[in-house]
Structure formats: C-alpha cells, structure tokens
Amino acid sequence: MLLENLALFLRIVRHGSMAAAGREAGLSPATVSERLAMLEAHYGTRLLTRTTRALSLTEEGRALAEGAPNLLSEAEELETRLREGVSRVAGPVRISAPSDLGRNRISQLLDGFLARHPAVSVDLHLSDGYIDLAAQGIDVAIRYGDLADSSMMVRALAPSARIACAAPAYLDRHGVPERPEDLTTHNCLMMRFRGEVDRAWPFIVDGKPRTLLLTGDRIANDGAVVRDWCIKGHGIARKAEWDIAEDIRAGRLIPLLRAFEVPPLRLQAIYPKGRAQVRRIKLLLDALVAEFATG
C-alpha cells in the first residue's frame, strides 16, 4: 500500500489538486484524503499544507516529492526483473527535451531505441522552459548549459554553440551582417525563457566580451517556432548548433558571425540520483552519448 500511496501523492503534487488526482486514479475524495493521511502517518509528518484555495508542499513533502519517483521506478524495475528476468529491458521512461532537439533528433533516436527494446515505453515531453523533474516524474532531461540543481546527476553529450543564422532569402533582401553591431539594423527573432525575452546576445569582439541588446518583431517561447520563422526568411535568430545542424547542411539556414561567437554551452543529460542504476535508463543514457558522439 505504501507504493500506491506514494504514487497517489505524486499525482496530487503534479495536479496541485486532491480532487484532480482522485479523478485520474478513479478514487473518491474521501479515499484520497484517507490515503494521504496514511502516508503522513507512515512518515510521521505533514506533507501538504491545505487551504480552501490551494495545496502547498511542506519541506518534508518537497523532499518526498523529489525522492518518491526514484523509489517507485526502482520498485517497478525490481518487479519487472523478477517477473521477466534480468536479461529483459522493460518499463516506462519519461523524457524531457528542448522542442527543436526533441522533434528533430531525440524522437528519431527513440524510434531506434524502442525497436531494440520493444518492452520499453517512452513518454516524451517537449519544452524550452523550466521543468521540475522530480514533481513531473521525469527520468531523463536533455538540457543546454551548466547544471544548477546539485541533487541531479549529469552525462555530458556534446558541446553546443549558439549560432546567429538566417535564411538565404532574408540575407538577399537585407544583406549579410559582417560584425555583431550590424545586427542592430536587422530584424532579430527572439526566444522567451522563463518569462524573460532573450534580447541580449553575447559576442566576442576584438578579444573582449560584448553584449548587444537587439530588437525584432517576433518573440516566442518555443524554439521550433523561432526556427520556422527563421527558415521562412522573417529575420535573424540565435539558435543552438544541434537544433539547426541539418538546416545548415541543407542550405536552409546560413550561419553568421562565427568568428565572434562566445564559447559553446554543454548539451547534457540530467537525471535523478540512482536512476542510472535502472537498466532501461542506463541504456538510454548510453544511446544518447553515442548519438551525439557521431556529430
């Protein structure tokens, strides 16, 4: 019953509502309340603060929300191994990836991975914004940049520059910028990250860092939309190298100002501690490393 109650607790956290969690699990409100009370009694502490308007996690509840997905996954993996044998790779994997990279590369990698391991299922979440891995039950997240959360583990995949780029049609109409400051006269296509518009584009000019505040007529919080605008010739974008590598090879986009780029970010796989011990997760991490090693 403890594992079932943990799963119900994570549903409550994910939905922010006991009623919604109960509907998803097919349980009455009274049963949800009873099982939450059993879980709190088991751990000897309150996990949620409940008001008439909202639920919020206590410190103990937050710690349980971070650790419970590991407990459930490990229990599920153990059951699978006992029932089906240690040689078989089986069970669900929840993955989070940036929108462009997820559509253009990760989804294809997963096709091959599932063909090799047909007893595995995947749940792919595409987002360019912040994701709470523990609350969402994510097993592996693929992200650009350094890791901020020290509770997570990392497998480095590849360096990834952010490249200014534009479609040939746009450059034919408006000219090719020769230096970063030339961008101030161009229409720049912007990304929004965590509510902030990425207007400040960094460069290295004459050996020194320089940041330009740029403007444009289009902003989106989805990298795939910005890429599409760029390919259609609406302006200049600054995109991660892995997002547009195929577009550059195909001539749909032209890289710009490469001599002025700042050092590349890291593309990496992030996962909760202990998840790499689960066989299907380890094999997926190995497949990701191999995929990006090929270029």
Quick one: 147 and 280 in the same domain? yes
- Spatial contact of 92 and 114, defined as CB atoms under 8 Å apart: no
Quick one: 67 and 113 in the same domain? no
Mean pLDDT of the 121-138 span = 81
End position of a domain, from candidates 69, 86, 103: 86
- Tell me how long the chain is: 295
Give yes or no for residue 174 having a pLDDT over 60.
Answer: yes
15 φ/ψ angles, rounded to the nearest 5 degrees: -85, -20
Quick one: 28 and 75 in the same domain? yes
Quick one: 19 and 139 in the same domain? no
Model confidence over 2-25: pLDDT tens digits? Answer: 778 888 888 888 888 888 888 888
Quick one: 253 and 177 in the same domain? yes
Quick one: 225 and 275 in the same domain? no
Mean pLDDT of the 197-208 span = 94
Mean pLDDT of the 124-146 span = 81
Quick one: 145 and 290 in the same domain? yes
Residue 85 pLDDT: 42
161 φ/ψ angles, rounded to the nearest 5 degrees: -70, 155
Quick one: 293 and 252 in the same domain? no
Identify the bridge partners of residue 141 per DSSP, sorted by sequence position.
96, 270
Q: Which domain holds residue 76?
A: 1-86
Q: Would you state the structure tokens that stand for residue 170, as one six-digit string?
A: 């746009």
Return the ∠ at Cα 87 (arms to 81 and 91), rounded to 5°: 50
Residue 86 pLDDT: 45
Quick one: 139 and 10 in the same domain? no
Domain CATH number, residue 200: 3.40.190.10
- Mean confidence (pLDDT) of the chain: 87
The domain total for the chain is 3
Residue 2 pLDDT: 79
The structure tokens 């689960």 sit at 278
The structure tokens 């090799």 sit at 116
Quick one: 144 and 273 in the same domain? yes
Predicted model pTM: 0.65
Query: Whole-angstrom distance between the N-terminal and C-terminal Cα of the chain?
Result: 47
Task: Name the residue with higher pLDDT: 23 or 260.
Answer: 260
Return d(Cα 2, Cα 84) in angstroms, integer: 23
Residue 133 pLDDT: 74
Return d(Cα 163, Cα 264) in angstroms, integer: 9
